[in-house]
Structure 1
Amino acid sequence: MTCPARTAQAWLAALADHGRTSGPLFVRIDRHGRLGRAPTGRGSADGQLAGQAVALIVARTATAAGLDPKAAWSGHSLRRGFATETYRTGADPLRIARAGGWKDGSATLLGYIDDVDRWQANPLAGVGL
């Protein structure tokens, strides 16, 4: 399934089938298909994935997709990609910040946007150089 909305709906339905109708969207799944806390009891009580787990999933997925395994693929790649691509398609920076959990006027978010503007809104583009 490649449609993000349909994939999210299917995942929410699967969570509901396991009795989870609230809490984090992405939770641990053990090797037996059980959702929630890690067997050691570490982590959040609601089973939320740790940042380290997300980084591992992203790195494995990038490698499986044939991307360079030595590249710095991480969970941060998802955050930066979200900010960059939504801005590139015309989303308002304030709405991007709030959806992504950045503070209003975040210097980090503005740095990602600057990367897009460097090429799309370059002030030298119209001077005939």
Structure 2
Amino acid sequence: MRVSKTWPRMVPVTYSSRPAICPARAWNAWKEAAGLADKPNSPAFRRLHLRWHTVMQGGLELESVGDVITLTGERTGIEIRFTGHSPRRGLATSSRVKGHVRIVVAKQGGWAPHSKVLARYLEIVDQWEDNALTGVL
């Protein structure tokens, strides 16, 4: 699947065993519905004209992606503030909980192998899984 807000890269995204939450099925359905199937290099989400709400040529501005995620979180009534980094952080922590090693998480999520940001995300999971007090108390 081609991904990125700023530069395109290809990542393997597997089909989920649960069709209702499958990102690959959702992406394929969106490409078909949005007429993107034959336009692999076009933006997944297009800008709308502020006044006329007509679809414009370019993709969303970088800040708009984060704004959409934050606004969607607010509208759901969830008290945690979601940002543009929430999906990546969720990928990192969920992958680590399932036992994936750091290098695999980094590659899939687009982090450098020794990213300090990724290390902070994974620390939250690792503090419970790799705790010096486990089995001591």
Counterpart selection for 2:131 from 115, 122, 129: 122
Match of 1:81? 90
Shift of 1:75: 0.4
| 1:65 aligns to 2:86 (yes or no) | no
Identity %: 32
Shift of 1:125: 1.2
Q: CA separation in 2, counterparts of 1:20 and 1:56?
A: 28
Residue 23 of structure 1 aligns with an amino acid whose one-letter code is N
Three-state SS of the structure 1 residue aligned to 2:119 is helix
Match of 2:16? none
Stretches of structure 2 that go unaligned for 5 or more consecutive residues are: 1-19
Match of 1:92? 101
Residue 124 of structure 1 aligns with an amino acid whose one-letter code is L
Counterpart selection for 1:28 from 42, 46, 55: 46
Q: CA separation in 2, counterparts of 1:126 and 1:19?
A: 53
Q: Which has the higher strand share?
A: 2
Stretches of structure 1 that go unaligned for 5 or more consecutive residues are: 38-46
Are the counterparts in 1 of residues 74 and 81 from structure 2 also a CA contact under 8 Å? no
Cα RMSD (Å): 2.2
| 1:107 aligns to 2:88 (yes or no) | no
Are the counterparts in 2 of residues 51 and 75 from structure 1 also a CA contact under 8 Å? no
How many residue pairs end up in the alignment? Answer: 114
TM-score by length of 2: 0.70
TM-score by length of 1: 0.74
Counterpart selection for 1:3 from 22, 27, 43: 22
